[in-house]
Chains A and B, each alone.
Chain A
Amino acid sequence: MAINRNFRTCPTTGLVFHEQGEKLIRWNAVAGVVSLLVGGVLALLVILTRWPAVHLLPADWFYLALTAHGLDMLVFWIIFFEIAVLYFCASTLLRCRIAAPRWAWTGFFLMVIGALTNNVAVFRGDSSVMFTSYAPMGAHPAFYLGLILFAVGALIGLFVFLGTLVVAKSEKTYIGSLPLVTFGAVTACIIAVFTIASGAIILIPTFLWSLGLVNSIDSLMYKTVWWAFGHSSQQINVAAHVSIWYLIAAIVFGAKPMSEKVSRGAFLLYIFFLQLASAHHLLADPGLTSNWKIFNTSYAMYLAVLASMVHGLTVPGAIEVAQRQKGYNKGLFEWLRKAPWGNPVFSGMFISLIGFGFLGGISGVMMGTEQLNLIIHNTIYVPGHFHATVVVGTTLAFMSLTYFLIPVLFRRELMFPGLSKWQPYLFGLGMSGFAVFMMGAGTLGVPRRHWDMTFAGNPLGHEFPGAAYLMMGLMALSGLVAIVGGVAYLLITVGSVFFGKKIETPDFKAVTVREGRAAWPARQPVAVAIASHGNIGLGGFVAPGTFTLAMVFLVAFVLYYFVNWKYLSTVWPLS
Chain B
Amino acid sequence: MSIATPSPDLDDDDLDEPIPAMQQLLDNPFLLLFIGVAMPTVLYIIWGVMEIVGIPIAK
- Which residue numbers of A lie inside 8 Å of B, CB to CB? 95, 162, 165, 172-178, 183, 186-187, 189-191, 193-194, 197-198, 201, 218, 220-221, 224-225, 228, 232, 264, 268, 271-273, 275-276, 278-279, 282, 287-289, 292, 295-296, 300, 516-517, 519-520, 522-523, 528, 531-533
Q: Give the residue name and chain of the B residue nearest to A225 (CB).
A: B45
- The answer to whether B49 has its CB under 8 Å from any CB of chain A is yes
> Contact partner of B39 among A186, A275, A522, CB < 8 A?
A275
Report the minimum CB–CB distance from A345 to chain B (whole Å): 23
**Other 11 A-B pairs with CB < 8 A, given A224-B49, A523-B8, A532-B9:** A175-B2, A176-B7, A177-B26, A178-B29, A190-B33, A193-B37, A221-B49, A224-B52, A271-B39, A278-B40, A287-B51
Q: Which residues of A contact B37 (CB under 8 A)?
A: 190, 193-194, 197
Report the minimum CB–CB distance from B40 to chain A (whole Å): 4
Report the minimum CB–CB distance from A86 to chain B (whole Å): 12
B6 in contact with A272 (CB, 8 Å):
no
Q: Which residues of A contact B9 (CB under 8 A)?
A: 523, 528, 531-532
Instruction: Name B's interface SS.
Output: helix
Q: Give the residue name and chain of the A residue nearest to B38 (CB).
A: A194
From known contacts A176-B14, A178-B27, A271-B32, infer whether A224 and B6 are also in contact, taking CB-CB under 8 Å. Answer: no
Report the minimum CB–CB distance from A523 to chain B (whole Å): 7
User: Of B26, B30, B47, B51, which is in contact with the most chain A CB atoms at under 10 Å from its CB?
Assistant: B26
B33 in contact with A276 (CB, 8 Å):
no
- The answer to whether B4 has its CB under 8 Å from any CB of chain A is yes
**Count of B residues near A, CB < 8 Å?**
34
User: CA A279 – CA B15 in complex, angstroms?
Assistant: 43
User: CA A189 – CA B8 in complex, angstroms?
Assistant: 28
User: CA A295 – CA B42 in complex, angstroms?
Assistant: 13
From known contacts A174-B6, A176-B14, A278-B40, infer whether A292 and B51 are also in contact, taking CB-CB under 8 Å. Answer: yes
B26 in contact with A520 (CB, 8 Å):
no
From known contacts A279-B44, A517-B4, infer whether A220 and B52 are also in contact, taking CB-CB under 8 Å. Answer: yes
A278 in contact with B52 (CB, 8 Å):
no
> Could you list 7 A-B pairs, sorted by A, with CB under 8 Å?
A162-B33, A221-B52, A275-B39, A287-B55, A292-B47, A295-B43, A531-B7
User: CA A532 – CA B9 in complex, angstroms?
Assistant: 7
Report the minimum CB–CB distance from B49 to chain A (whole Å): 7
User: CA A282 – CA B45 in complex, angstroms?
Assistant: 12
Q: Which residues of B contact A190 (CB under 8 A)?
A: 29, 32-33, 36-37
From known contacts A174-B6, A190-B32, infer whether A276 and B43 are also in contact, taking CB-CB under 8 Å. Answer: yes
User: CA A528 – CA B9 in complex, angstroms?
Assistant: 7
> Contact partner of A186 among B4, B7, B32, B49, CB < 8 A?
B32
User: Of B7, B32, B39, which is in contact with the most chain A CB atoms at under 10 Å from its CB?
Assistant: B7
User: Of B23, B35, B51, which is in contact with the most chain A CB atoms at under 10 Å from its CB?
Assistant: B51
